[in-house]
Structure 1
Amino acid sequence: MTSASRPVRTPVRTRFAPSPTGYLHIGGARTALFSWAFARRHGGTFILRIEDTDVARSTPAAVQAILDGMQWLGLEHDEGPFYQMQRMDRYKEVIGQMLAAGTAYHCYLSPEELDRLREAQRERGEKPRYDGRWRPEAGKVLPQPPAGVQPVVRFRNPAEGVVSWDDLVKGRIEIANAEMDDFIIARADGTPTYNFCVVVDDWDMGITHVIRGDDHVNNTPRQINVLQALGAEVPLYAHLSMILGDDGSKLSKRHGAVSVMQYDEEGYLPEAVINYLARLGWSHGDDEIFDRRQFVEWFDLDHITPSAAQFNTEKLNWLNAQYIKKADDAFLAAEVASRLARREVNPETGPSLEAVVALYKDRVANLNELADAAELFVADVHPAPEVVGQHLTDVAKAALASLRGRLAAAEWNRAALSQAIKDTMAEHGLKMPQVAIPLRVAVLGVPQTPAIDAVLEVLGRGRVLERLDRRL
């Protein structure tokens, strides 16, 4: 079914609901991107919700890391951020309503009793599960509540039938209710559980489309049953496949499962990361490079593949290089200046960074490489001894001494500088590499650079002569 024929429930309301137990990583960022893009595509609302009920593991620093990552990627939310810990009164209100309606009940089975029950079931070769001993049934006499035991609250899951949904990525999914037990929706201390909080949030916030990772597929039937018990409209679900590393194994820190902000630190442009994430499990024909406006215009759920996506660092690097090539020189110069400042290198002490950027932007894969190149123009250069020994030979130094005299008198433009180099080559009977490579080492400390006449022009007469004098 195409997006043209598949109905979209409107007005569209999507959400990104991370748990602040760590940074925002690539998998979470892709989920956020797809949820954001779907809302933008249909003129809907994108909601940010922080699911912070895991008090032991949730931290303010992790919340800030998520907010920073979203901001860097440019995935602005329309509502929120909402925090589950600030909605406890609402959850308890709904639990009270469910207890009164008979769709939930108190269970006095202690954790130790539950462990013994499950162990006995395993020994009999049965699936370990709660046996419903405190579930109210017609004609069933319940035990007397034990003294001093605080009960949990369990959801009264339907005993018969199936729960099913048409997943917008995976297709039709059906699970027999008999496969699920009555799960806990509130712990003995009164705090609600994840699967319950999510349901109330999605209901209260009017979420129409839940776009999330397929590690949540097993939660979906439970959440649907609770929604139906509350008389709430069930949202449409789209479960995204996992992302594998370059080697086909589960994504880990060594191949991409790092904080989104680390991509900023490593010199990636957010637009390149967005473009790359968009192609992780979604496609629009053979199109590889497109901006977020075009992505929003094209995006649908029909072209998300149900199979796992594979992270490819080389592809991300290539894409980042394309974005750097197309970027405005002034923008790149500002990015490079901030990176140099972090290295305690003053960008004001060198030539125009825009001119340096223009020389190198076609030769680098990330902003850090661009900053590395710019640093050679700004800071004192100290070529490695082996590089000096290899390239600044007596013959090379004699040629550079002659060239220095010509450069001191030459007009400072590429044509004149090129002619000075050619005249020096002719005088000493040398070929271009025999002069150009030692010259590069003398003025920038490295044997490879863009066209040497362009490098000299940008570096400026004063710096070139000073650096030649130092090497000679």
Structure 2
Amino acid sequence: MSKIITRFAPSPTGYLHIGGIRTALINHLIVEKNKTEFPDSKFFLRIEDTDKKRSKDEYFQSIVKSLKWLNIQWDGNIYKQSENINKHIEIANELLRIKGAYKCICTTEELEERRKKNLLKGLSLKKLCNNCEGDPNIQKLEKDFCIRIKIEKSNFTEIDDKIQGKIKISNDELDNFILLRKDGTPTYMLSVVVDDYLMGITHIIRGDDHLNNAFRQFHLYKNLGWIVPKFAHIPLMFGDDGKKLSKRHGSIEVLDFKNKGYLSEAIVNYLAKFGSSNDKDEVLQKKQIIYNFNFNSIVKSPSRFDYNKLNFINSLYLNEINDEDLLRELKENFNLKIKNNLVDLILKLINLYKKRSHNIEELNKNIKSFINFEIAEYKKVSSENEKKILNQFFIYINNENDWSKDKIEKNLKEFVNQNNIKFSHLAEPLRMILTGSKKGPSLSEIMIILEKKETISKINKFLI
């Protein structure tokens, strides 16, 4: 073992996806673990911003904010791929000089025509430019050409992936891909390899949708005489339907989770365990996650993103936050506006509802529903039978002086039995009046928080 240098290299062409942040997290965890033995290990952030038409600053800010929110800290300054374009061009020309690449004048139309003819013959050939490499006149051109890599037509390419294992493919499966376009601009395939080399990257850890690129990039390293870094390709995230995770499955952008009130520690915990054969404990501290993490714990096959599991983990973390801190968060970031005389009540409600909320947004909705519910509106749509039952309960409970939890529960049970009704016939309309929802905490918990005076007052407002 020795120092490990990795990078997370997103493009600022969209908001950062939960799958992308998982890749960043795995890079971060691998480096943090290695730093205990090799302190000069590094995790870099590189922004691949060469697509100027689609790149936007708001997407760049999304990447940075997402990483900071999850406390995924990178080393040094942020690298930007666009700042290295001249170096990319220089390397393409160096490949020409050392015969690791060649000039090509094939048009897109010509290549497509060859592809179609090959298919008619039952051939699926990847290398469609067959003549330019051996034509001395083309190789002497000074303009109007692109630069393609040279790859042996026979032989095999083998990669020993840290997650996928040893994979071997025939070179016939690889095309002589373009390094420098006819307009003189470098392609992604060239730029990413040059940047990784210049940054001293030892381990390329990324999604397995880039696995095919690894075989192509291998030949760039080989032709340049550079050491090939270690590859580790992470299986993609799937939705509950077994298809690639997308917006139709729910929130997938990292900051959406933040805005919904998920906690950064819960996201990190879930993602570190996602697709892993280790860590059976539901909640782990960051130090434990780093200590336990290794490539061997990542399963090869795709895993399904489980919102229910994330909600469960998030609720565990949510319950660890004290009520005052949650109140501050609700006021500052979730637009909860309350009068000073309601602070004590709200703190009690936070304590009650946080046990039943998956995230802070859900907690906020429950509390707002409780304090803003209009009893008069419910009265308009309630049935005569509900009004009758609540009127009887009002009479039954009004003179009760013992407002303890046990006594309240006993009174509720006795009332239901004496009137020969189902418990839900009382509980649903009563809970609606008291909380603004037919489902939620037990009636005894609610009535204890409201105390007798407010409970009776709410029922009376409904009846008058």
Structure 2 length-normalised TM: 0.85
Q: Residue in 2 aligned with 1:308? A: 302
* Shift in Å, 1:193: 0.5
Cα RMSD (Å): 3.3
**Counterpart contact for 1:91–1:200, Cα < 8 Å:** yes
3-state secondary structure, aligned to 2:383: helix
Change (3 A) 1:124 1:429: closer
The counterpart of 1:42, out of the listed 23, 34, 57, is 34
Partner AA of 2:18 in structure 1: I
**Counterpart contact for 1:268–1:366, Cα < 8 Å:** yes
**Counterpart contact for 1:246–1:311, Cα < 8 Å:** yes
Asked if 1:12 corresponds to 2:7, the answer is no
3-state secondary structure, aligned to 1:174: strand
* Shift in Å, 1:458: 3.4
| Seq. identity, % | 32
Asked if 1:209 corresponds to 2:200, the answer is no
Deviations 1:39-61 (A, max 9, x none): 11111321111112223332223
The counterpart of 1:142, out of the listed 137, 144, 165, is 137
- Return the alpha-carbon distance in structure 1 between the equivalents of residues 231 and 245 of structure 2: 24
- Structure 1, unmatched stretches of 5+, are 1-7
**Counterpart contact for 1:14–1:209, Cα < 8 Å:** yes
Change (3 A) 1:237 1:347: farther
The counterpart of 1:125, out of the listed 122, 125, 137, is 122
Q: Residue in 2 aligned with 1:259? A: 253
Asked if 1:440 corresponds to 2:426, the answer is no
Partner AA of 1:26 in structure 2: I
Asked if 1:33 corresponds to 2:28, the answer is no
* Shift in Å, 1:27: 1.9
* Shift in Å, 1:470: 2.4
Q: Residue in 1 aligned with 2:38? A: none
Partner AA of 2:319 in structure 1: K
- Return the alpha-carbon distance in structure 2 between the equivalents of residues 447 and 323 of structure 1: 27
- Return the alpha-carbon distance in structure 1 between the equivalents of residues 60 and 128 of structure 2: 35
3-state secondary structure, aligned to 1:326: coil
- Return the alpha-carbon distance in structure 2 between the equivalents of residues 386 and 309 of structure 1: 49
Change (3 A) 1:423 1:207: closer
* Shift in Å, 1:468: 4.2
Deviations 1:346-395 (A, max 9, x none): 47563333321211222222323211221134324346348743675245
**Counterpart contact for 2:19–2:237, Cα < 8 Å:** yes
* Shift in Å, 1:211: 0.9
Structure 1 segments, 4+ long, off by >4 Å, are: 143-147, 401-407, 417-439, 460-466
Asked if 1:319 corresponds to 2:277, the answer is no
Partner AA of 1:299 in structure 2: F
3-state secondary structure, aligned to 1:47: strand
Structure 1 length-normalised TM: 0.83
| Matching of residues 207-246 of structure 1 within 5 Å | 207-246=201-240
Partner AA of 1:142 in structure 2: N
Change (3 A) 1:391 1:451: farther
Q: Residue in 2 aligned with 1:21? A: 13
Q: Residue in 1 aligned with 2:105? A: 108
* Shift in Å, 1:403: 4.4
Q: Residue in 1 aligned with 2:441? A: 450
| Matching of residues 62-73 of structure 1 within 5 Å | 62-73=59-70
Change (3 A) 1:447 1:116: closer
Q: Residue in 1 aligned with 2:57? A: 60
- Return the alpha-carbon distance in structure 2 between the equivalents of residues 423 and 282 of structure 1: 50
| Matching of residues 59-208 of structure 1 within 5 Å | 59-126=56-123, 127-136=125-134, 141-143=136-138, 150-208=144-202
The counterpart of 1:370, out of the listed 356, 359, 363, is 363
**Counterpart contact for 2:390–2:459, Cα < 8 Å:** no
- Return the alpha-carbon distance in structure 1 between the equivalents of residues 413 and 222 of structure 2: 85
3-state secondary structure, aligned to 1:306: coil
Mean Cα deviation higher: 451-460 or 429-438: 429-438
**Counterpart contact for 1:272–1:320, Cα < 8 Å:** yes
Partner AA of 1:261 in structure 2: L
* Shift in Å, 1:399: 3.9
Change (3 A) 1:464 1:419: same
* Shift in Å, 1:165: 2.1
Deviations 1:169-212 (A, max 9, x none): 11112233344232111111111101111101110111111111
- Return the alpha-carbon distance in structure 2 between the equivalents of residues 424 and 107 of structure 1: 85
- Structure 2, unmatched stretches of 5+, are 36-40
Partner AA of 2:137 in structure 1: L
3-state secondary structure, aligned to 2:73: coil
Mean Cα deviation higher: 432-441 or 277-286: 432-441
Partner AA of 1:371 in structure 2: N
* Shift in Å, 1:460: 6.1
- Return the alpha-carbon distance in structure 2 between the equivalents of residues 443 and 187 of structure 1: 69
Change (3 A) 1:81 1:406: same
* Shift in Å, 1:453: 4.6
**Counterpart contact for 2:103–2:138, Cα < 8 Å:** no
Change (3 A) 1:256 1:273: farther
**Counterpart contact for 1:340–1:375, Cα < 8 Å:** no
- Return the alpha-carbon distance in structure 2 between the equivalents of residues 47 and 366 of structure 1: 31
* Shift in Å, 1:26: 2.4
**Counterpart contact for 2:133–2:139, Cα < 8 Å:** no
Q: Residue in 2 aligned with 1:5? A: none
* Shift in Å, 1:111: 2.7
- Return the alpha-carbon distance in structure 1 between the equivalents of residues 200 and 385 of structure 2: 70
Change (3 A) 1:389 1:340: farther
Partner AA of 1:181 in structure 2: D
Asked if 1:283 corresponds to 2:277, the answer is yes
3-state secondary structure, aligned to 1:376: helix
The counterpart of 2:391, out of the listed 369, 381, 397, is 397
